[in-house]
């Protein structure tokens, strides 16, 4: 008997899971290999980035839900969103994830973990964004190409 359901690994291979993993590394670094305190400036900057990142994610998610297109990676989109949060970035939720990660790193004074931010960005791009762009290009053709020429992948 064959099981057509996705494997557990495929089911948990989602951006929030990866974000949680990188956040856990930052938290662990702040506890077990602390950096010198950054002071109130890094606390406020960190808090600000977390708030901006979460707000960007909520706005983008609301746009996707109200437009009745998927927000689940690897699923076929039904609409190409090009305004609002998607007018700022082609990937506002992933940008929000990154801002939250940087914000928590700053808030926790886990400065060594800043070295992992480019790793997170490249991993998200390779595992999710490139495939999503290919699906968008296949589904929306020239409209996606025009959008991609106007709006950057990240910011």
Residue-level pLDDT at 131: 95
Tell me if 72 is assigned to some domain. Answer: yes
Give the number of domains in the chain: 1
Residue-level pLDDT at 100: 98
User: Is residue 106 pLDDT above 60, yes or no?
Assistant: yes
- The model carries a pTM of 0.91
Tell me if 20 is assigned to some domain. Answer: no
Query: Which residues constitute the domain of residue 129?
Result: 56-155
Tell me if 122 is assigned to some domain. Answer: yes
Tell me if 35 is assigned to some domain. Answer: no
Do 61 and 69 form a contact (C-beta atoms < 8 A)? no
Tell me if 16 is assigned to some domain. Answer: no
Tell me if 86 is assigned to some domain. Answer: yes
Question: What distances in angstroms separate CA 153 from CA 31, 77, 138, one per listed residue?
Answer: 34, 17, 17
- pLDDT tens for residues 108-133? 999 999 999 999 999 999 999 999 99
Residue-level pLDDT at 2: 47
Tell me if 38 is assigned to some domain. Answer: no
Question: What distances in angstroms separate CA 48 from CA 59, 91, 96, one per listed residue?
Answer: 16, 20, 12
Tell me if 144 is assigned to some domain. Answer: yes
- pLDDT tens for residues 6-62? 666 677 889 999 999 999 999 999 999 988 888 888 999 999 999 999 999 999 999
């Amino acid at each position: 008997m064959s099981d057509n359901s996705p494997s557990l690994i495929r089911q948990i291979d989602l951006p929030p899971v990866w974000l949680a993993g990188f956040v856990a590394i930052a938290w662990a670094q702040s506890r077990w290999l602390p950096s010198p305190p950054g002071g109130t400036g890094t606390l406020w900057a960190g808090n600000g980035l977390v708030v901006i990142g979460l707000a960007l994610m909520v706005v983008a998610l609301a746009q996707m839900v109200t437009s009745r297109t998927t927000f689940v990676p690897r699923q076929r989109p039904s609409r190409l969103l090009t305004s609002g949060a998607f007018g700022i970035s082609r990937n506002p939720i992933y940008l929000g994830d990154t801002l939250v990660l940087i914000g928590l790193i700053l808030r926790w004074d886990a400065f060594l973990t800043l070295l992992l931010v480019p790793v997170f960005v490249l991993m998200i791009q390779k595992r999710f964004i490139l495939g999503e762009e290919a699906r968008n290009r296949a589904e929306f053709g020239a409209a996606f190409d025009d959008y991609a020429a106007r709006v950057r992948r990240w910011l």
